[in-house]
């Protein structure tokens, strides 16, 4: 199929982008999710606002212990080491397992978050960097910027905490010490497929370890203190998954495996 007819605008600055959004335009960047939706006519916007050329929409900056990643930064850019230090190594490991390189060349971190597919990679791991670690999504609206904790950004299936008239401008994550431990595992039956269960565990020295279980057709399950999971991966994963509403036994088994393997990776 081909998309229904739509208009195209390329705003030169953020006020122009917000004005287009207020007028009903659909924001677009990499288009890796929106493009198929247009072709299938699941989305039929009157016009698209191409955000790719906005100043500061892509790129990485570090200041005062915070790494600011523009929402338009591609998965490939992160995979190739644009984010420095231990944080960069962790994010690069996540990025290189997203679909295929052609998808990573165009897909963006902000697009993945704002689309809020529960199986998406950044939706599944970035909540681990929230809480006391201070990870936020930076939204821009008519009243200016506001910061949304990453563990509260996704509210439901394809639903986020962005208010009407707001655009996702950036993601802010903490600079991590080199001693930070990380475990991440996701299950895909074949390369490029969306995950059926994803888990990660982040252990920063001096802070409680945080874990996330995601890709289960619901917002991520965030564990603000995953000490018990590190201490007893088998028993704690059984307990956590038993409390979820998973109808299929195979899905529960994969979720338990994801938690155990993420804990093992962090422990190593």
User: Could you tell me if 114 and 77 lie in one domain?
Assistant: yes
Compare 80 and 3 and report the one with higher pLDDT: 80
Q: Which of 174, 201, 233 is the last residue of a domain?
A: 174
Summary mean pLDDT of the chain: 94
Q: Which of 147, 174, 201 is the last residue of a domain?
A: 174
Q: If we measure between CA atoms, which residue out of 97, 78, 105 comes closest to residue 89?
A: 78
Q: Looking at residue 194, which CATH number applies to its domain? A: 3.30.390.50
Given a cut of 80, is residue 35 above it in pLDDT? no
Alpha helices in 73-223 (DSSP H): 75-79, 85-95, 101-106, 109-115, 121-125
The verdict on residue 71 lying in a domain is: yes
Q: Looking at residue 100, which CATH number applies to its domain? A: 3.30.465.10
User: Could you tell me if 166 and 189 lie in one domain?
Assistant: no
Q: How many domains are contained in the chain? A: 3
The verdict on residue 170 lying in a domain is: yes
User: Could you tell me if 115 and 216 lie in one domain?
Assistant: no
- The answer to whether 67 touches 174, Cβ cutoff 8 Å, is yes
User: Could you tell me if 71 and 169 lie in one domain?
Assistant: yes
pTM: 0.94
User: Could you tell me if 166 and 187 lie in one domain?
Assistant: no
Q: What is the pLDDT of residue 141?
A: 97
- Distance separating alpha carbons of residues 38 and 1, to the nearest angstrom: 9
The verdict on residue 188 lying in a domain is: yes
- Tokens of residue 57, six digits: 């929409």
Q: Looking at residue 17, which CATH number applies to its domain? A: 3.30.43.10
The verdict on residue 1 lying in a domain is: no
Total residue length of the chain:
268
- Distance separating alpha carbons of residues 238 and 245, to the nearest angstrom: 13
User: Could you tell me if 133 and 194 lie in one domain?
Assistant: no
- Tokens of residue 52, six digits: 């790719």
Span of 84-88, 98-102, 146-150 with lowest mean pLDDT:
98-102
Q: What is the pLDDT of residue 1?
A: 67
pLDDT in tens, 107-145: 999 999 999 999 999 999 999 999 999 999 999 999 999
pLDDT band at 193; cut points 50, 70, 90 = confident
Indicate the SS3 state at residue 253: helix
The verdict on residue 153 lying in a domain is: yes
Q: Domain residues for 193? A: 181-267
pLDDT in tens, 216-246: 988 999 999 999 999 999 999 999 999 998 8
């Amino acid at each position: 199929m081909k998309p229904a007819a739509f208009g195209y605008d390329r705003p030169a600055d953020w006020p122009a982008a917000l004005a287009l959004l207020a007028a009903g335009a659909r924001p677009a960047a990499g288009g890796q999710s929106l493009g198929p939706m247009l072709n299938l006519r699941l989305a039929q916007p009157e016009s698209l606002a191409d955000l790719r050329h906005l100043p500061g929409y892509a790129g990485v900056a570090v200041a005062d212990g915070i790494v600011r990643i523009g929402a338009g930064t591609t998965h490939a850019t992160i995979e190739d080491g644009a984010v420095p230090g231990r944080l960069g190594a962790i994010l690069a490991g996540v990025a290189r397992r997203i679909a295929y390189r052609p998808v990573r060349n165009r897909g963006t971190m902000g697009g993945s978050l704002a689309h809020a597919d529960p199986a998406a990679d950044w939706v599944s791991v970035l909540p681990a960097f929230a809480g006391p670690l201070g990870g936020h999504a930076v939204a821009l609206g008519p009243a200016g910027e506001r910061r949304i904790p990453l563990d509260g950004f996704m509210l439901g299936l394809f639903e986020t905490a962005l208010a009407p008239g707001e655009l996702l401008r950036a993601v802010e994550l903490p600079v991590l010490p080199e001693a930070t431990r990380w475990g991440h595992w996701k299950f895909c039956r074949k390369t490029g497929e969306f995950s059926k269960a994803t888990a990660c565990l982040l252990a920063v020295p001096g802070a409680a370890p945080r874990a996330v279980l995601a890709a289960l057709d619901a917002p991520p399950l965030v564990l603000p203190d995953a000490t018990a999971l590190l201490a007893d991966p088998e028993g704690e994963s059984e307990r956590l998954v038993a409390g979820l509403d998973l109808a299929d036994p195979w899905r529960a088994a994969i979720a338990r495996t994801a938690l155990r393997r993420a804990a093992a990776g962090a422990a190593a």
